[in-house]
């Protein structure tokens, strides 16, 4: 039976693809890929596969999504194995569930292949632990971009130890101000990890107050991390403090 595989491509480095994702890509008859899928990952695809770029530009989300769904259905009719490749994990701000439901409602076989989300990979690759004994026992992954603008209600997230904000670069100053207004300390350390896992990975460290004042230069795509864990970043030269080893 012809099948569409909704595959997570991870954050960019092909070594962070799952074995299953790599195997399916190498055998796919057609591949539909998003803007954040790296050229190195596309190079793992079957050289004879049809490649369809289906990245969306700002302002054309819904019409583009409709075209993508129709193209997936067309590919599923024509090919035995179709890979719908998405950055990170397909079910983390990736519309994976919507596409799965739409395809299943039309009788098309779908299989999901999870990927490593940038929400997990970006902090980790920069040495920032999302949880740390004695420092952080919880984390939340939030979008900074809701329909029509910035996510509005930040109060619910104020008590969470570590906040991981995706799509938060554009509205970073307003988000930081909203987090301070919701009760987080202005001096709380934050980090933006840009283009995680690629050769252009870069990190900008700051505080909520500085970000709220518009003093932080950041380029998308980046993961915005706010929490005390940022100050506990592990580096090769960092002296291990006894507090780091404390059992919570
Ligand atoms: C539409 S969301 C998709 C998230 C994706 N499904 C995932 O699990 O990583 C796009 C956002 O993910 C983040 N992102 C994706 N890849 C990234 C990378 N390599 N480095 C930093 N941020 C990344 C950015 O915040 C970007 O705005």
> Using CA positions, which residue lies closest to atom 7 of ligand 1?
88
Domains and CATH numbers, the chain: 3-116 (3.40.1010.10), 119-232 (3.30.950.10)
Provide the pLDDT for residue 32. Answer: 97
Instruction: For residue range 8-18, list pLDDT tens digits in order.
Output: 999 999 999 99
Answer yes or no: is the C-beta of 88 below 6 A from any ligand 1 atom: yes
Residue among 64, 87, 195 whose CB has most ligand 1 atoms within 8 A, to mutate: 87
Q: How many CA atoms lie within 13 A of 222 on its CB side?
A: 25
pLDDT 10s digits, 64-101: 899 999 999 999 999 999 999 999 999 999 999 999 99
Q: Is the CB of 9 under 6 A from ligand 1?
A: no
pLDDT for res 241: 52
- Region of 55 please: left (phi>0), alpha (psi -120 to 50) or beta: beta
> Catalytic annotation on 56?
yes
Strand partners, 147: none
pLDDT of amino acid 61 = 74
pLDDT-derived band at 49, boundaries 50, 70, 90:
very high
- pTM of the predicted model as reported, rounded to 2 decimal places: 0.93
């Amino acid at each position: 039976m012809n099948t569409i595989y909704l595959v997570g491509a991870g954050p960019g480095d092909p070594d962070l693809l799952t074995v299953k994702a790599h195997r399916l890509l190498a055998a796919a008859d057609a591949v539909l890929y998003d803007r954040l899928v790296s050229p190195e990952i596309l190079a793992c695809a079957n050289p004879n596969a049809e490649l369809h770029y289906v990245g969306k530009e700002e302002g054309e989300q819904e019409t583009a999504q409709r075209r993508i769904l129709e193209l997936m259905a067309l590919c599923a009719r024509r090919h035995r194995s179709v890979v719908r490749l998405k950055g990170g994990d397909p079910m983390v701000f990736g519309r994976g569930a919507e596409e799965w439901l739409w395809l299943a409602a039309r009788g098309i076989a779908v299989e999901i292949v999870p990927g490593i989300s940038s929400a997990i990979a970006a902090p980790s690759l920069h040495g920032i632990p999302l949880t740390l004994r004695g420092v952080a026992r919880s984390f939340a992954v939030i979008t900074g971009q809701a329909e029509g603008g910035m996510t509005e209600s930040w109060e619910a997230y104020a008590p969470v130890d570590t906040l991981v904000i995706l799509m938060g670069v554009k509205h970073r100053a307003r988000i930081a101000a909203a987090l301070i207004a919701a009760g987080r300390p202005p001096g709380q350390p934050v980090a933006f990890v840009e283009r995680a896992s690629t050769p252009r990975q870069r990190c900008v460290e700051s505080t909520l107050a500085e970000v709220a004042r518009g003093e932080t230069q950041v380029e998308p795509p980046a993961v915005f991390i706010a929490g005390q864990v940022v100050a506990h970043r592990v580096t090769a030269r960092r002296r291990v403090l006894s507090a780091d080893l404390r059992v919570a």
